[in-house]
Amino acid sequence: MKLHELTIEEASRQLARRELSSVTLTQAVLDRIAAVDPRIGAYLTLDAEGALAQAAHADRRIAKDEGTPLTGIPLGIKDVICTQGLRTTCGSRLLENFIPPYNATVMDKLQTAGAVILGKLNMDEFAMGSSTENSAYQVTRNPWNQDHIPGGSSGGSGAAVAADMCLGALGSDTGGSIRQPASHCGVVGLKPTYGRVSRYGLVAFASSLDQIGPMGKSVKDCALIMNAISGHDERDSTSVPRPVPDYTKLTGDGFKGLRVGLPLEYHRAEGLDPDVRTAMAAAIETVRALGAETVEVSLPHTEYAVAAYYIIAPCEASSNLARYDGVRYGVRSRDHEDMLDMFRRSRTNGFGAEVQRRIILGTYALSAGYYDAYYGKASQIRSLIMQDFRWAYETCDVLLSPVAPTPAFKIGENTDDPLTMYMSDVFTLSANLAGIPGISVPCGLSSDGLPIGLQIMGPHFSEDRLLQAAYHFEQNTAFHQQRPEL
Amino acid sequence: MKITREEVQHVARLARLDLADTVLDTMAEQLGGILDYMETLNRVDTDGIAPTAHAVSQATPLRADKRRPHLDHEAALANAPERDKESFIVPKIIS
């Protein structure tokens, strides 16, 4: 096996046994990036020099037996997470030159664990999108078929993991932005419970929905990253002071005796691709064979989730993005008549079309006379969606569904019609509205050879249960061993 | 739902965006389509349903009120598009 193909688990074992050095491993991954990223376009900023210095430091730490499972492991970071001294663009022209003066809490934690940070990964601008086509910088291609999107908004993270351009990555998920690219790229991605991982230093899109999480080549790798990044942070008042279990204690019988709910609104949805349907039927058979009991459940307000989400998220975004005014950071437009004109020109030149669309939509929905009809109504629907999940979890332990209605679509196929693009998030965004965790694990390939992901969702703070179930599924199927040819 | 270009222009002004004429028309059309879709929410009776702003609710967390390290002045100014030694420089506000 080539070094860049290693999982975190295996690389960590070899590093601890001194069979491998982090410098050698990091160089191998940098060589891999040089060889394939010109065709994929996952990295926006590569810090080869910094990574090799961190790797040398990690090797010294391991030599003193002071390593952790992530010490010396090369990781990629979605470009929406602040990295001190390393450019963070959020995929936006407006932040072309932004160099964060501080680290996000997750970056402090990864640094403490000794991880090696390779660079920053492409994304839809400010995490708004489902295909990474909204990046102001470059298109990211799906490693399985380069005519197709990698998913989004964490498309750079998904593609980099799938193409072995990092051993694991961080993404962020506001409506499916970890799970959907994980599904489209054939890797594992976990969106934790809201409040499980600190959002301090995560550039805000929709603050009540955003959550950072891991993307990896295996369930175990995601568990290793979760152990490092989870926990309460007094710098994020929405992070929850609750003990963090050891997510890596994976027993290999996660589905045994589990009651698995099959939400009929998801499985019988119109527009569900036949290949996704087939893969789902096979996955359901697999979990039954693994000892799970399946029950049909109903999440009756599912059909309203897209509309509620695309009111709430843009409302929060329009407020959050008001900070980009060209005063303290970001690109300031040169020609302006006065202060207000400077704000307007900087924002108009700096933001791309989708970001402007969502700011307009959010501003409209929050403006005088419309607040109750849109934001108020959507927030009530959100309560009903949460209630759907609460009732479902009275009869089952986890919910099983597709991640996305179709495999990755072609680049350019959906860019003209925002509403069609929004619909592709139908199975993932309810979890964000309800704050519950969800994991995507590979469960098949389409007839065109594109990956399909299985989503397992659970109640608040059931990440351990989801990881156990996903691990059991993974260990009894071969989908995670398939790699794209590059 | 019909959204006029004047309405979009008004909202753009509130959002501190300066949309070109051609963009205004496209935006009005797309916004109308999206808001039509949002109308589906009115099929749900939400009388008496409390709204949710945060899915994982918590009491307001408190911390000890003590001095702690904060961002260095120079670091805070480092990304400024225009600055002098100690301040952000902005266009004249009061003429």
Query: What CATH number did the domain enclosing A105 receive?
Result: 3.90.1300.10
In-domain check, residue A451:
no
pLDDT for B75 beyond 90: yes
pLDDT band at residue A249 under the 50/70/90 scheme? very high
A153 catalytically annotated: yes
Do A245 and A362 fall into the same domain?
no
In-domain check, residue A440:
no
Is A329 close to B63, i.e. CB distance below 8 A?
no
Q: Which tokens in the block code for residue A74?
A: 């090369």
Quickly count: other Cβ atoms within 10 Å of residue A271's Cβ: 10
Is B19 close to A356, i.e. CB distance below 8 A?
yes
Could you list the residue range(s) of the whole structural domain that residue A354 is in?
303-377
Quickly count: other Cβ atoms within 10 Å of residue B1's Cβ: 11
How far, in whole angstroms, is CA A463 from its chain's centroid?
15
The Cα angle at residue B26 between residues A339 and A420, in degrees rounded to 5: 115
pLDDT band at residue A424 under the 50/70/90 scheme? confident
Question: What 3-state DSSP class applies to B34?
Answer: helix
Nearest CA in chain B to A311: B38
A360-378 b/e (C-beta count within 10 Å ≥ 16 → b): bbbbbbbbeeeeebbbebb
DSSP string of A20-85, one letter each residue: S-HHHHHHHHHHHHHHHHHHH--EEEE-HHHHHHHHHHHHHHHHTT---TTTT-EEEEETTB-BTT
Element (DSSP H or E) covering residue A172: strand A168-172
pLDDT for A418 beyond 90: no
Do A164 and A96 fall into the same domain?
yes
ipTM of the modeled complex: 0.95
Domain final residue pick, A377, A393, A408: A377
Q: Which tokens in the block code for residue A176?
A: 């499916």
Do A53 and A175 fall into the same domain?
yes
Quickly count: other Cβ atoms within 10 Å of residue A296's Cβ: 12
Cα separation of A238 and A204, whole Å?
13
Cα separation of A251 and B25, whole Å?
58
Do A206 and A329 fall into the same domain?
no
pLDDT for A163 beyond 80: yes
pLDDT for B63 beyond 90: no
Nearest CA in chain A to B44: A381
| pLDDT tens per residue, range A61-93 | 999 999 999 999 999 999 999 999 999 999 999
A298 catalytically annotated: no
Is A383 close to B55, i.e. CB distance below 8 A?
no
Residue B61 DSSP one-character state: P
For chain B, domains (ranges, CATH) are: 5-43 (1.10.20.60)
A218 catalytically annotated: no
Do A363 and A244 fall into the same domain?
no
Is A194 close to B54, i.e. CB distance below 8 A?
yes
Domain final residue pick, A377, A409, A436: A377
The minimal CB distance from B18 to the residues A195, A304, A344 is found for A344
pLDDT band at residue B57 under the 50/70/90 scheme? confident
Do A240 and A307 fall into the same domain?
no
Domain final residue pick, A377, A395, A420: A377
Do A218 and A339 fall into the same domain?
no
| pLDDT tens per residue, range A303-345 | 999 999 999 999 999 999 999 999 999 999 988 889 999 999 9
Do A221 and A339 fall into the same domain?
no
Q: Which tokens in the block code for residue A71?
A: 């010490």
Q: Which of A12, A21, A22, A78 is catalytic?
A: A78
Is B46 close to A356, i.e. CB distance below 8 A?
no
In-domain check, residue A395:
no
In-domain check, residue A231:
yes
| pLDDT tens per residue, range A92-124 | 999 999 999 999 999 999 999 999 999 999 999
Cα separation of A452 and A480, whole Å?
11
Cα separation of A389 and A320, whole Å?
28
Do A107 and A193 fall into the same domain?
yes
β-pair partners for A370: none
Which residue shows structure tokens 């691990």? Answer: A471
Quickly count: other Cβ atoms within 10 Å of residue A257's Cβ: 11
The predicted structure's pLDDT at residue A414: 81
| pLDDT tens per residue, range A9-37 | 999 999 999 999 999 999 999 999 999 99
Q: Are A133 and A139 in contact (CB under 8 A)?
A: yes
| Residues in chain B closer than 8 A to A101 (CB atoms) | 71-72, 75-76, 78-79
Q: How many structural domains comprise chain A?
A: 2
The predicted structure's pLDDT at residue A368: 86
Do A333 and A237 fall into the same domain?
no
Residue B60 DSSP one-character state: P
Q: Which of A92, A131, A153, A230 is catalytic?
A: A153
In-domain check, residue A227:
yes
In-domain check, residue A149:
yes
Q: Are A173 and A432 in contact (CB under 8 A)?
A: yes
